[in-house]
Amino acid sequence: MSRMPLPEKKPSAPPISTHTQRDERRRKLADVRQELVLDAARSVFFELGMEKTSIREIARRAGYTPGALYSYFPSKEHIYGALLGESLERLNDRVQQALIDAPSEADRLRAAATAFFEFYRANSHDLDLGFYLFQGMAPRGLTPELNTRLNTRLRDALLPCHGALQSMGMSSAAATREVTALFAHIVGLLVMSHTGRIRMFGQSSQELFDAYLANLLKRVQAK
């Protein structure tokens, strides 16, 4: 009598080495510690402003020595860059989420611009982050590479507006001018709103933004 062949054993997954597990634990611990530093830095920046913030104060609030912080960030400007980078990622996520239910190009323009405006209107500290390293008109403290990367992510959040304007018949140069004006209008309204200056005129930043966007759409669609 012939025997039934035994089923082949499936090769088992190679065991995770102790070295790999140890590296993973170290990475997770480093991520947690870095997040603690960023949380502490965020509170210090918002409370004291960029100029008065020091590595020593960030370290104190995070529960570390200043020397320990330098193993994560070489300067407070790099900490600032990490915070602003995280803020810009949340902004871009918000804009992309708003575009999901925007079928037409006009809807995409309206959705992207509104998401941009509402993100900073609801999160005044995120707007503050964008101004901390500016004195007068000169950016300071960031490396050229980091400054370029952050500016690129900010522009990324406005690209859907630029693309929608082009799809509605504008040239790339004209769309760039309109997006620049839209950005300037949004920032101006937000600064006036967050500082309370808009009350001087008895106006609402939301109503002024809605009116500007409606006029922009009307001008584009009339061409």
SS3 assignment for 34-93: HHHHHHHHHHHHHHHCCCCCCHHHHHHHHCCCHHHHCCCCCCHHHHHHHHHHHHHHHHHH
Q: Which domain holds residue 165?
A: 76-222
Residues 24 and 127 in one domain: no
Indicate the number of domains in the chain.
2
Q: Using a CB cutoff of 8 Å and minimum separation of 24, what contacts does 24-32 make? A: 30/72
- Other CB atoms within a 10 A radius of the CB of residue 207 amount to 10
CA distance 162 to 165: 5
Residues 85 and 41 in one domain: no
Quote the distance between the C-alpha of residue 148 and its chain's center.
14
Residue 126 maps to a domain: yes
Q: How confident is the model at residue 212 (pLDDT cuts 50, 70, 90)?
A: very high
pTM reported for the whole predicted model: 0.81
64: left (phi over 0), alpha (psi -120 to 50) or beta: beta
Q: Which two tokens stand for residue 61?
A: 């609030």
What digits encode the pLDDT tens for the residues 141-177?
677 888 888 889 999 999 999 999 999 999 999 999 9
Supply the mean pLDDT for the chain.
Answer: 86
- What is the CATH number for 44? 1.10.10.60
Residues 164 and 105 in one domain: yes
Lookup result for tokens 């959705």: 111
Residues 89 and 47 in one domain: no
Collapsing DSSP states into helix, strand and coil, what is residue 139? Answer: strand
Contact in structure between 161 and 107 (CB atoms under 8 Å): no
Residue 9 maps to a domain: no
CA distance 74 to 173: 39
- Region 126-131: mean pLDDT is 83
Structure-model confidence comparison of residues 194 and 160, the more confident one: 160
Structure-model confidence comparison of residues 99 and 28, the more confident one: 99
